[in-house]
Amino acid sequence: MSFTGTVKNEITTLKITETAKIALISGFFRNNYQIIKDSITISSENDAVITYLKELLDSYEEVSYSEELLDNNNFSKNKLKALVIVDGDNFIKETFSLDSEVVPSYLVESDDEVRGYLRGVFLSSGSINDPKTSRYHLEFLIEKSEEAVFVQKLLNNYSLNVKVLSRDKGFMLYIKEADKISDFLKIIGCSKAVLYYEEIRVYRDTKNKTNRINNCEQANMDRVLQTAMDQLNYIKILEDNMAIELLDDKTKEALEYRKKYQEASLKELSEIISLETGNKITKSGLNHRFRKIKELALKFLDN
């Protein structure tokens, strides 16, 4: 099962208040329903979602429905499970605000109701990538511009930094920040999904940090080896031109130690020289001696 399916299944198991239930149904219907043969029809590929909506609708005596299978237009072989409203069209339209372009404020007055509405929207049109297998991404596909703006505002009231893109058949609301996606899962009450998401996120972040450190260490090692190779090349130029005796004794000492310890960094080489000769030399001091070697070698290259 996809991570989206896992999150949706968890939503269907959560306890919900009566007013939040109305908000949830409204969030689902407003972003899902179609009029097929003059009947309000909602659908989903997810069996648990349809079963959940049946349970919610069964609490209203005014509503009755039939169950059908519909062709899926999303390039999927799976049939859509559909609920076709047989009785109670007007009740549903009024109670869940299907005919209003803007959601009435009384449906989302409390924080509990807002969370309920967002659950309904996610059940209807939301998806979220599994953090284990893909990049961090949460999105909602919403058909109407007024609804897209409304849902974006609800989400951003929680500082989720939701962005909107226009699509051929509506609008895509999306979040790409891992911590914001985790916050969304907390907002809709999916604690199991949060634990899974955070565990994978921490693992990935740690792995990425380790890789960055390893890359940094490799880059440092490459620079150390390149510096040593350059110094050895300058030394060879002086040897080929029999110019070693033009150097002072301390610089000749640095030259000999470089030839002896060809892969050592300047810091390591300064420590070795200090230890073996008893004369302390710093990394900066050693670098100064190699600059003298380079300057003399370049003179032979220029001639």
How far is 49 from 44, CA to CA, in rounded Å? 7
Token couple for 94: 């009024």
Same domain, 61 and 119: yes
State the 10-residue block means of pLDDT for the chain, 303 residues long.
Answer: 93 94 95 86 92 93 88 71 90 90 91 96 95 88 94 96 91 94 96 91 78 79 85 89 88 90 87 88 90 89 70
pTM above 0.85, yes or no: no
| Domain endpoint, select from 189, 209, 242 | 189
Same domain, 264 and 181: no
Domain count, the chain: 2
Which stretches within 102-190 are classed as H helix? 111-125, 145-156, 178-187
Same domain, 71 and 164: yes
Same domain, 156 and 275: no
Same domain, 109 and 257: no
Q: What pLDDT, on a 0 to 100 scale, did the predictor assign at position 149? A: 94
| 286 phi-psi bin (left φ>0, alpha ψ -120 to 50, beta other) | alpha
Q: Is 50 within a domain? A: yes
Which residue range is the domain that position 148 belongs to? Answer: 3-189
Q: What pLDDT, on a 0 to 100 scale, did the predictor assign at position 31? A: 94
Q: What pLDDT, on a 0 to 100 scale, did the predictor assign at position 75? A: 58
Q: Is 207 within a domain? A: no
Same domain, 155 and 265: no
CATH number at residue 42: 3.10.28.10
